[in-house]
A and B are shown apart, each in its own frame.
Chain A
Amino acid sequence: MSDEANKGLLSPLRRKLLMGMAAVPAITMLPRASFAQAPATSAVNTTGLAVTDTEVTVGILHSATGTMAISETGSIEAEKLAIEQINAMGGVLGRKIKFIQEDGASDWPTFAEKAKKLLVNDKVAAIMGCWTSASRKAVLPVMEQYNGMLYYPTFYEGLEQSKNVIYTGQEATQQILAGLNWIAKEKGAKTFFFIGSDYIWPRTSNKIARKHVENVLKGKVVGEEYYALGSTQFNSVINKIKLTKPDVIFTDVVGGSNVAFYKQLKAAGIDLAKQPLLTISVTEDEIDGIGGENIAGAYACMKYFQSLDNANNKTFVPAFKKMWGEKTVIGDVTQAAYLGPWLWKLTVEKAGSFDVDKIAAASPGVEFKGAPEGYVRIHENHHLWSKTRVGRAKLDGQFELIYETADLVEPDPFPKGYQ
Chain B
Amino acid sequence: MIINSRFFNRSELMGFIALAAVLFVILPLTLDVFRLNLVAKYLTYAFVAIGLVLCWGYGGILSLGQGVFFGLGGYCMAMFLKLEASSVENTKIQSTPGIPDFMDWNQITSLPLFWQPFHSLTFTVLAIILVPGLFALIIGTAMFKRRVGGTYFAIITQAVAAILTILIVGQQGYTGGINGMTDLRTLKGWDIRPDHAKIILYFVEVVLLFACIGIAQFIRLTKLGRILVAMREQEDRVRFSGYSVANFKIFAFCMAAIFAAIGGAMFALNVGFMSPSFVGIVPSIEMVIYTAVGGRMSIFGAIWGAILVNFAKTSLSESFPQLWLFGLGALFIAVVLAFPNGLSGLWADYVQPRIDRLFASRKAKTSWSENSVADGAPAE
Q: Show the binding face of B for A, using Cβ within 8 Å.
A: 32-34, 38, 41, 93, 95, 102, 105-107, 166, 169-170, 172, 177-180, 182-183, 193, 271-273, 275, 277-278, 314, 317-318, 321-322, 324-325
Closest to A134 in B: B179
Contacts of A198 in B (CB 8 A): 169-170, 172, 177
Q: Is the CB of A203 within 8 A of B105?
A: yes
Whether A133 touches B321, Cβ cut-off 8 Å, given contacts A108-B275, A108-B277, A113-B41, is no
Contacts of A199 in B (CB 8 A): 169, 172, 177-179
In whole angstroms, how far apart are the Cα atoms of A117 and B319 in the complex?
13
Contacts of B317 in A (CB 8 A): 102-103, 105, 110, 114
Whether A64 touches B34, Cβ cut-off 8 Å, given contacts A112-B271, A133-B179, A200-B102, is no
Q: How many A-B residue pairs have CB under 8 A?
A: 94
Q: Is the CB of A103 within 8 A of B277?
A: no
Whether A414 touches B324, Cβ cut-off 8 Å, given contacts A103-B317, A105-B317, A200-B105, is no
Chain A interface residue count: which class?
Answer: 35 or more
Q: Show the binding face of A for B, using Cβ within 8 Å.
A: 64-65, 101-103, 105, 107-110, 112-114, 116-117, 120-121, 133-134, 137-138, 140-141, 145, 157, 159, 198-200, 203-204, 207, 228-229, 414, 419
In whole angstroms, how far apart are the Cα atoms of A64 and B106 in the complex?
30
Q: Is the CB of B272 within 8 A of A141?
A: yes
Task: Report the minimum CB–CB distance from B366 to chain A (whole Å).
Answer: 47
Whether A109 touches B166, Cβ cut-off 8 Å, given contacts A101-B321, A204-B105, is no
Given contacts A114-B318, A141-B272, A200-B105, list 14 more A-B pairs with CB under 8 A. A64-B322, A103-B322, A108-B180, A108-B275, A114-B317, A116-B34, A120-B34, A121-B34, A134-B179, A140-B182, A141-B183, A159-B105, A200-B172, A200-B178
In whole angstroms, how far apart are the Cα atoms of A419 and B96 in the complex?
11
Contacts of A145 in B (CB 8 A): 193
Closest to B34 in A: A120
Task: Report the minimum CB–CB distance from A376 to chain B (whole Å).
Answer: 26
Whether A109 touches B183, Cβ cut-off 8 Å, given contacts A103-B324, A198-B169, A229-B178, is no
Q: Is the CB of A229 within 8 A of B169?
A: yes
Q: Is the CB of A134 within 8 A of B105?
A: no
Q: Is the CB of A207 within 8 A of B107?
A: yes
Contacts of B271 in A (CB 8 A): 109, 112-113
Q: Considering the complex of A and B, which 9 residue pairs feature the smallest CB-CB distances, nearest first?
A: A103-B321, A134-B179, A120-B34, A141-B183, A137-B182, A199-B178, A137-B179, A64-B322, A64-B321
Task: Report the minimum CB–CB distance from B178 to chain A (whole Å).
Answer: 5
Question: Could you pull out 27 A-B pairs where Cβ atoms are within 8 angstroms?
Answer: A64-B322, A65-B322, A65-B325, A102-B318, A105-B325, A107-B277, A108-B179, A108-B275, A109-B277, A110-B317, A113-B314, A116-B34, A117-B34, A120-B33, A133-B179, A134-B180, A137-B182, A138-B180, A138-B275, A198-B169, A199-B178, A200-B102, A200-B172, A200-B179, A203-B106, A203-B172, A419-B95
In whole angstroms, how far apart are the Cα atoms of A140 and B179 in the complex?
12
In whole angstroms, how far apart are the Cα atoms of A129 and B122 in the complex?
39
Q: Is the CB of B180 within 8 A of A117?
A: no
